Amino acid sequence: MSLNIVPRTRFADEVVRSVCPYCAVGCGLLVFVEKGRITNIEGDPESPISQGCLCPKGCATFELVTGSHRERKVLYRKPRATEWQTLPLETAMDMVAERLKKTRDENWDAENRRTMSMAHLGGATLDNEENYLIKKLFTALGIVQIENQARI
């Protein structure tokens, strides 16, 4: 009896090397692409960091990018509202910037040239370059509580 089973990676047009986005370990990934769509993601055996291994989070990166439950729009819930509404990304970014400036202006400590009214908590998936820019931006804004989830 022969089973007509083939791996779903067999028909990939290309295999792209990448890095798991979930934590600072940086395990290597192989991303299989067929007709412009990701068909599989697995550990890269040639990665000197992980040698083909992935933890359960890393194994789930295929679902991270392809899952139907992934939110692809900005969702906003007004204070005391019970329903979410979608917003254009540009509108949401403007709202964040306006609130940040208002909070900073209203709570500026001129003597110490800082504000204690805000803090920043970065996610563990941020890379070195993103963390560098976040530290620069928030320090320039006078915010002193700048932390990263990876250190908690």
Residue range at the interface with ligand SF4 (CB under 6 A); choices 2-10, 53-61, 90-98, 141-149 = 53-61
Q: Does 25 bind ligand SF4 (CB under 6 A)?
A: yes
Q: Does 55 bind ligand SF4 (CB under 6 A)?
A: yes
Q: Which of 57, 94, 52, 49 is nearest to 76 (CA)?
A: 94
Q: How is the chain split among helix, strand and coil, in percent rounded to 5?
A: 30, 30, 45
CB of 45 to ligand SF4, least distance (A): 14
Beta strand extents in 3-151 (DSSP E only): 14-19, 28-34, 37-43, 74-76, 85-87, 108-109, 114-122, 143-148
Residue range at the interface with ligand SF4 (CB under 6 A); choices 52-60, 63-71, 77-85, 100-108 = 52-60
Task: Specify which residues 38 forms β-bridges with.
Answer: 33
Q: Which is nearer to ligand SF4, 27 or 143 (CB)?
A: 27
CB of 58 to ligand SF4, least distance (A): 2
Those residues whose C-beta lies under 8 Å from the C-beta of residue 87, and which sit 6 or more positions away, are: 73, 74, 75, 76, 95
Q: Does 74 bind ligand SF4 (CB under 6 A)?
A: no
Q: Does 26 bind ligand SF4 (CB under 6 A)?
A: yes
Binding residues for ligand SF4, rule: CB under 6 A, are 20, 22-23, 25-27, 50, 54-55, 57-58
